[in-house]
Structure 1
């Protein structure tokens, strides 16, 4: 009888511990990076580029560009799950952000965090304009609590803040001129379409003076 009660107690304790770890599906729990899901609308082998500005006046991810310049919705979706596959809701947006694989994307404080905290289904997204500078042709990673989640995405970034000092000024104009004069300077393709032309000059002029809030 004593052994039976011990087994029952251990099973009950184990279930309670698992429930606490999983958060019961209704409160903020500990994210499981293997269970959680990152998706976006582009297919395998496809890539996109989005124009960003430190003050957030760049393009939303919903208006990114394919390599040839055609518009594409590059919204990134995240479903945050705990170790028992329960959705984690009300997870703070500031603890979920984007980074480029090479560090070329230089965000302002909180400039690449998720659009909102997670909803009751554990979902949040990145669709609004980012507040950042720099440029990157590397991959984009989704980070949760500083840990990369899911496969990196082929999302690239360009900015009028070419040198990544979080402001658009004459130093960036000089770098833009150098890239503009090259056969193809990715950093100067501010209206991403695979060529550098007068449309990029207009974008550069419009962004002059922008800086992080």
Structure 2
């Protein structure tokens, strides 16, 4: 039986803490079928002698929230082996977001990541308001890797307080609204809540 792909002669690191082995990996479809010495041929074969073969990396601290709009392949991380990226770090996210709040959130990301606000505003579809809508929009972009995200304190605070969020403290009622909005965002798919400190 031939496998779809066999990667041969690599230094295989399994990601589980075991010692690396010199060996092969057989892949059928999107499933690793065998690891070790694979005798069956592959429809495609790659000689990995002198190379390390690892599971995909998970990047838990990215600011690719804007880049995904113009680069759904996310080349700045995929070319280094990242297969899962977490967006929404440091309290800065693009959802929840009303249409009139886009400039503020894009400006905040510009400050954090030095990405021009114009690139952010024109590079994303901005076809959402809720966090769930944001995740749906990302899915439509067709990212090359797994993408997940946190909902940011800055976005939820601005959504509830408007421009008062820049200089003023939230009232107890607003804190409750921010917490409720964060909870709603988690129910819609955010993995958690991020802050900048």
Verify same fold: TM over 0.5: no
| Greater fraction helix | 2
Q: TM-score, normalised by structure 1?
A: 0.25
Question: Relative contact order (alpha carbons < 8 A, sep ≥ 6): 1 or 2 greater?
Answer: 1
Provide TM-score, normalisation by structure 2: 0.26
